[in-house]
Amino acid sequence: MTYNECVDYILSIPKFADKLGIDNLNCILDIMDHPERKYPVIHVAGTNGKGSTSLFLASILKEKGERVGIFTSPHLIRLNERIRINDDVISDEDFVGVFEKVMKYIDKASKRGIAHPSFFEFVFLMSAVYFADNLIDYAIFETGMGGRLDATNVVRPKLCIITSVGMDHMQYLGNTIEEIAYEKAGIIKKGVPVVFFDRKDAATGVIADYCKEIGENLHIVEKKQYNLLKITKKTIDFSFESVYYRYDSLRIKKTALYQIENAVLAVRAFELLSEMDYNINNNVDEVHIDLKAIRNGLYNMTWAGRMQRIDERIFVDGAHNEEAIKAFCHTLEVLYKEEPKILLFAVSKDKDYENMIEHLGRISFDEIVLVKYNGERSAELDKVKEAFRHFLGSKITTFEDIETGFEYVKTHVEDRLVFCVGSLYLVGDLLKIQEYRND
């Protein structure tokens, strides 16, 4: 098969097919001799920040000299983005090769009456095989949206990370923070340490109780452990008080303030991995933390669509739920408080967009430009406009498609900054448009 034929096949699988649970997937993995068990795994769950935390940790491990496989979702432009080793996204050639391997196993499974995997399960299987074939030192698997019933929960992790718990995907995970936290906590396994960012809300008790019930250690990171030190034109500098060190000179690229939280989670996870490596070697009192790897890894990490500058005065950010929008607004209030701003916004109709828009009402925008992305989940412009009218008095302009709205803001930006937010579909389409024009 050609690359395009492989992609078309995968995309033809319903993304939200009947939830098969991990039993069906484990049956397929039995036939495959469990490629996901051939390397140490870090398993990451949470509402927001999973991808960034995964990439920060991968970047630190890479600086230490490790070869790290990373499985993330969703993709913004190409399906390949979900599978990478260090900084290299899987090539089209390797994509086809792994696809064909997985299909052979699925054909064998089908003959035994085992159901075809879902879209997400299929890509997960591809990543597991690709990592096994390429002799990696670690694999980082990010859950799709939940944890307990997520396809990635077939892994036997060395370490678990839970980034945050917020209101998203309620139709699948529950209608309260406690219910959603329980689903995220489902990745926790006996004998596996857990790193969790404690926001002092209802999720904390659920995560702590889950760990206590199975007798597992919970390693909490909280806001009081880090301090913002300085914001320059290119960097955000901060300190972090952890178990082993007080890190006084950490820095990340000037993207968004919420990335500090993801960075310190990655640092704490790296400390635990280092501790486990030393314990295995019976050197309990000689734990060495590679400070150079931490500093270089944090600064060198890049993650598309997270407060990414795509033009001189235009930024895109993947915030697409209430928690993420709150974090986005905080970044604007601190990093871009004085600059005049335009908002380009699209959102899915199944999101709680009225609460998202209420938070955006904290920010003064000269103009709000509303667009629809191409898909049945895109919210109706009239309803979104009505919600903005309730919370903001800014000028509102609407367009039926993203490209026309983007052209409009580009010709009206003048000395203002444009922030594009509300949906990962919006971010992906804007990156495609920009990529096409750059070519």
Q: Are residues 59 and 207 in the same domain?
A: yes
Identify whether the C-beta of residue 439 lies closer than 8 Å to the C-beta of residue 335: no
Q: Are residues 292 and 335 in the same domain?
A: no
Distances (CA, A) of 156 to 34, 139, 153, 299, 360: 11, 11, 8, 30, 40
Q: Are residues 236 and 341 in the same domain?
A: no
- List, for residues 80-125, the tens digit of each pLDDT value: 999 999 999 999 999 999 999 999 999 999 999 999 999 999 999 9
- What CATH number corresponds to the domain at position 384? 3.90.190.20
Q: What percent of the chain has pLDDT over 70?
A: 95
Q: In sequence order, what are the residues at sequence separation of 6 or more whose Cβ sits closer than 8 angstroms to the Cβ of residue 425?
A: 346, 348, 373, 374, 375, 377, 378
Q: Are residues 106 and 228 in the same domain?
A: yes
The pLDDT of residue 206 is above 70? yes
- List, for residues 379-423, the tens digit of each pLDDT value: 999 999 999 998 888 899 999 999 999 999 999 999 999 999 999
Q: Please, what is the average pLDDT of the chain?
A: 92
Q: Are residues 289 and 312 in the same domain?
A: no
Identify whether the C-beta of residue 416 lies closer than 8 Å to the C-beta of residue 313: yes
The pLDDT of residue 66 is above 60? yes
Q: Are residues 219 and 340 in the same domain?
A: no
For the chain, the domain total comes to 2
Q: Are residues 66 and 149 in the same domain?
A: yes
The pLDDT of residue 190 is above 70? yes
Amino acid at 426: L
Q: How far apart are CA 364 and CA 342, in angstroms?
A: 9
The pLDDT of residue 334 is above 50? yes
Which range, of 134-148, 163-177, 357-371, averages the lowest pLDDT?
A: 163-177
Q: Give the per-residue SS3 of 192-240.
A: CCEEEEECCCHHHHHHHHHHHHHCCCEEEEEHHHEEEEEECCCEEEEEE
Hey, how many other C-beta atoms are within 10 angstroms of the C-beta on 355? Answer: 16
Residue with tokens 């890894």: 297
Identify whether the C-beta of residue 243 lies closer than 8 Å to the C-beta of residue 289: no
Q: Are residues 79 and 173 in the same domain?
A: yes
The pLDDT of residue 270 is above 90? yes
Q: What is the per-residue pLDDT for 419?
A: 97
Q: Are residues 259 and 141 in the same domain?
A: yes
The pLDDT of residue 16 is above 50? no
- What CATH number corresponds to the domain at position 24? 3.40.1190.10
Range of the domain at 428: 308-438
Q: How far apart are CA 425 and CA 391, in angstroms?
A: 24
Query: 300, 325, 341: which is the final residue of a domain?
Result: 300
Q: What is the per-residue pLDDT for 42?
A: 98
Query: 300, 331, 365: which is the final residue of a domain?
Result: 300
Q: Are residues 337 and 283 in the same domain?
A: no
Q: Are residues 171 and 102 in the same domain?
A: yes
Q: Are residues 340 and 286 in the same domain?
A: no
Query: 275, 300, 325: which is the final residue of a domain?
Result: 300
Q: What percent of the chain has pLDDT over 90?
A: 80
